[in-house]
């Protein structure tokens, strides 16, 4: 029977020096993949490599520093790793803003980081995957792609775009053995989200109370009524990267704690 064994596969996880990206890197390493962690600077990348090795002592892990929102940063990563078997587009930025105050430059910046960086890598890696007859492209979207928050329209727009990008590229490589999917991640507990929660509910509450207040007031649709842990998103990614997911492509799979009110994936 097939399993989640990714031995012999190389996986690049963008924006993987912390949070969900780091959890994905650790989970893929646990499944036996050779993992390439990525961040803008070498210091962060080296810390992430150490974190992966601490969690998985026999991990095959290396790093690729480069700002993937730039041409030069992307070129550096592609030069170091011209072929990968698994591409996880995790890189992303978020933040709440008054929708009437956000500038054109901010809109462009969010698009460049959250969407165009992924498109560049998909275009670069898909031809090699199809040539080898195996490949997995997994982009991390968000519940905000479907349930657009009023305070994060600019962010939600980029995650909606990723759903379209993934569906389109899945069609472009149909019949090749390569799959392209998106994971819709629900509200997840990361350091950045802790700051976001504090911004919305204040800093005078202990974390457990602040988290509950945030979910009740700002994310009441959640069926688990808590923030998810990064590892819960990582498990879905590892499944999609594995041979077990060979029949799943062009999909938007939810690891959202039931946040999106839909009976469809």
Answer yes or no: are the C-beta atoms of 173 and 129 closer than 8 Å: yes
Chain centroid to CA 239: 14
How far apart are alpha carbons 185 and 183 in whole angstroms? Answer: 6
Q: Which of 155, 167, 181, 165 is nearest to 92 (CA)?
A: 155
How far apart are alpha carbons 47 and 236 in whole angstroms? Answer: 24
Handedness of CA 204, 208, 209, 210 (dihedral sign): positive
Q: Which of 110, 125, 155, 259 is catalytic?
A: 155
> Is 259 tagged catalytic?
no
**Tokens 């929708």, located at residue:** 99
Chain centroid to CA 43: 21
- Active site amino acids: 155
């Amino acid at each position: 029977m097939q399993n989640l064994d990714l031995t012999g596969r190389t996986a690049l996880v963008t924006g993987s020096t912390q949070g969900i990206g780091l959890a994905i890197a650790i989970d893929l390493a646990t499944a036996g993949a050779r993992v390439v962690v990525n961040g803008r600077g070498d210091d962060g990348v080296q810390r992430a490599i150490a974190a992966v090795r601490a969690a998985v002592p026999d991990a095959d892990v290396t790093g690729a520093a480069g700002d993937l929102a730039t041409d030069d940063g992307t070129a550096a990563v592609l030069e170091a790793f011209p072929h990968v078997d698994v591409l996880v587009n995790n890189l992303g930025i978020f933040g709440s803003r008054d929708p009437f105050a956000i500038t054109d430059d901010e809109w462009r910046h969010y698009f460049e980081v959250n969407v165009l960086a992924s498109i560049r890598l998909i275009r670069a890696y898909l031809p090699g995957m199809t040539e080898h007859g195996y490949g997995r492209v997994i982009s991390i979207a968000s519940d905000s792609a479907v349930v657009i928050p009023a305070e994060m329209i600019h962010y939600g727009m980029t995650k909606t775009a990723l759903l379209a990008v993934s569906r389109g590229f899945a069609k472009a490589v149909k019949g090749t053995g390569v799959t392209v999917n998106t994971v819709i991640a629900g509200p997840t507990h990361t350091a950045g989200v802790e700051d976001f929660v504090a911004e919305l509910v204040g800093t005078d509450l202990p974390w457990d109370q602040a988290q509950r207040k945030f979910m009740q007031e700002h994310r009441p649709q959640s069926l688990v009524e808590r923030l998810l842990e990064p590892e819960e998103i990582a498990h879905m990614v590892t499944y999609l990267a594995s041979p077990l997911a060979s029949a799943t492509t062009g999909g938007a799979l939810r690891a959202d704690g039931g946040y999106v009110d839909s009976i469809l994936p």
